Amino acid sequence: MKKLIGNVLLTAGLVAGAITAARIPPMWGGLAASLGVMAVGIVLRRQGAKEELHRAAQSGTGGVRELERLIKESLEKLEKIMDAPREKVVEELTEILEELDEFAEKAQPLRIEGLMTYGTIMSVFSRGERALNRAWSAFADGYENEGRRYLRYGYDDLRETLQALKTLKV
């Protein structure tokens, strides 16, 4: 609710500020008041976003345990297709990539731990996801050797992501 009220105040302050600043001569008192309203809106919006992250972490829709489960399942599936035929790899890799799409959203509660923590985990994860997307593309285009190489890179990066998640003290 704070986030919604913050957005409304931010928008109202922006509109009021634009109107008061556009006048000739500018209405300095109105402009100052609208900047104050915008500041309150920003504070409320940030508090609301932080509360949402805490609720998500507590409800289990994110956080370290959920992310570990998602990465472990993906790693298990990747291990099964490392030496599989090309068609099977493309089919399974499509499913794995769809499941990994959830990771970025579910990782949002990690921002509570700090941007460095979030950035570290997301950097390694995104590198692995890109490698898996490249692997899928290479397999789909018939470049099996390149696909297997990027499949290995993606697998290694996801293992590194899992290790980074395990080292978190959450």
CB crowding 120-148: b at 16 or more within 10 Å, else e: bbbebbebbbebbebbbebbeeebeeebb
SS3 content of the chain, % helix, strand, coil (to 5): 85, 0, 15
Place of tokens 């509360």: 51
Note the pLDDT of residue 137.
Answer: 94
Indicate if the pLDDT at residue 75 is higher than 90: yes
Q: Give the residue carrying structure tokens 């109107």.
A: 19
The CATH code for residues 64-167 is 1.20.120
Q: Summarize pLDDT for 83-128 with one digit per residue, the tens.
A: 889 888 899 999 999 888 877 777 776 766 677 877 888 889 999 9
State the pLDDT confidence band at 41, using cuts at 50, 70 and 90. very high
| Coil, helix or strand at residue 57 | helix
> Any idea where the domains of the chain sit in the sequence?
1-59, 64-167
